[in-house]
């Protein structure tokens, strides 16, 4: 696949927050949790409004973690869930979750703020949200979507996929034509190998048309 200048649009990415800043929401949640506990302790026997105040503070603690935008969605929600489910120790777990570094599988498009619509970051986001039908991907997709669509068709190698690949190989877009031709060659080779294993030499398909 040929790189295109359009696939290299600058991307604007959120800067990585320092570790102390990353655990700030957890610290705030701990303070709110402490306040909730204080409200309950001070009002024994528990009055309705003291319980309501403690519940509101507990909820606010969870929201403080869930609303921390610089963190990944998954981490925010996991931290907030911990605060909500485990009063007292939840903020500590949230701090550990938010402070963790390193790449993970399953990042979402919300982690990035693409300037263009065809940049690498935009592709990452799109891939999580949508998968174009193969024909649409070939016609309108970017390099990655085209590549993925061709890979799927090459993998299936059914009649419909072969027809689309032949059409693409005959098209005016030289990059797409080349990729489609390579996919057809791949299918041919697979067929030839399979035919050789079955000792049926004349069953070789002329997939290229």
Partner 1 sequence: MSPAESAARPVADVCLVLEGTYPYTPGGVSSWVNDLLHALPAVRFVVAHVGAERGAVAERRYVLPPNVTGLVDLHCRDPRPEPADGAALRRAARSARRRHARPGRPSRVLEAFRRLLLEEPRGDAALLDDLASNDLSIAEFLHGGRTFDLILEIGDRLAAEASFLHFFWHFRSMHLPLVRLLGAPPPPAAVYHALCTGYAGALAAVWSRRTGRPLLLTEHGIYTRERNLELCRSLWLRGGGEASTVGAGDRCDEATASALRRTWALHFLSLARCAYAQASSIVSLSEVGRARQIGDGAPAAKTWIVPNGVDPASRGALASRIRLRGEDRRPLRVGFVGRVVPIKDIVTFIRACDLALSEVDLEARIIGPLDEDPAYVSRCRRLVADLGRGRAIRFEGQRPPDSIYRGIDVLVLTSFSEGQPLVMLEAGAAGIPVIATDVGACREMLEGRGDLDRSLGPGGIVTRLAAPAETAAAIVRLARDPRRRLRMGDAGRRRVAAFYRRDDCFARYGAFYSQGRWPGSAGASSA
**Which stretches of the chain bind partner 1, using CB under 8 A?**
1-5, 8, 10-11, 13, 16, 101-107, 111-112, 120-121, 123-124, 127-128, 144, 147-148, 150-151, 154-155, 169-170, 174, 177-186, 188-189, 192, 195-196, 201-202, 204, 206, 208-209
Determine contact, residues 54/37, Cβ cutoff 8 Å. Answer: yes
* Nearest to partner 1 of 85, 196 (CB atom): 196
* Nearest to partner 1 of 16, 69 (CB atom): 16
CB of 98 to partner 1, least distance (A): 15
Q: In Å, what is the CA distance from 111 to each residue of 62, 114, 127, 133, 146?
A: 21, 10, 13, 25, 24
Nearest 10 degrees: CA dihedral of 104, 117, 127, 148? -120
CB of 86 to partner 1, least distance (A): 29
Concatenated DSSP letters of 65-93: HHT-TTS-HHHHHHHHHHHHHSTTTHHHH
- Strand pairing class (113-114; 11-12): antiparallel
CB of 135 to partner 1, least distance (A): 19
Is residue 171 classed exposed, middle or buried when 0-12, 13-18 and 19+ CB atoms within 10 A define those classes? middle
* Nearest to partner 1 of 45, 102 (CB atom): 102
* Nearest to partner 1 of 9, 28 (CB atom): 9
* Nearest to partner 1 of 58, 146 (CB atom): 146
The two three-digit tokens of residue 101, written as one number: 């570094």
CB of 92 to partner 1, least distance (A): 24
CB of 43 to partner 1, least distance (A): 47
């Amino acid at each position: 696949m040929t790189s295109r200048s359009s696939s290299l649009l600058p991307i604007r990415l959120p800067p990585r927050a320092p570790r102390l800043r990353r655990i700030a929401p957890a610290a705030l949640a701990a303070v709110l949790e402490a306040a909730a506990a204080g409200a309950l302790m001070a009002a024994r026997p528990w009055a309705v409004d003291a319980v309501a105040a403690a519940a509101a503070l507990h909820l606010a603690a969870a929201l403080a973690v869930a609303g921390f935008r610089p963190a990944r969605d998954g981490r925010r929600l996991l931290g907030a869930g911990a605060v909500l489910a485990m009063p007292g120790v939840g903020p500590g777990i949230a701090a550990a979750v938010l402070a963790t570094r390193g790449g993970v599988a399953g990042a979402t498009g919300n982690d990035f703020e693409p300037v263009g619509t065809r940049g690498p970051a935009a592709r990452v986001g799109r891939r999580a949200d949508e998968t174009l039908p193969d024909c649409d991907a070939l016609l309108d997709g970017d390099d990655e979507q085209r590549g993925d669509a061709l890979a799927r068709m090459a993998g299936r190698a059914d009649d419909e996929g072969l027809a689309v690949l032949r059409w693409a190989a005959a098209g005016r877009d030289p990059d797409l034509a080349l990729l489609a031709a390579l996919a057809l060659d791949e299918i041919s080779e697979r067929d030839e190998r399979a035919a050789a294993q079955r000792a049926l030499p004349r069953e070789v398909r002329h997939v290229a048309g």
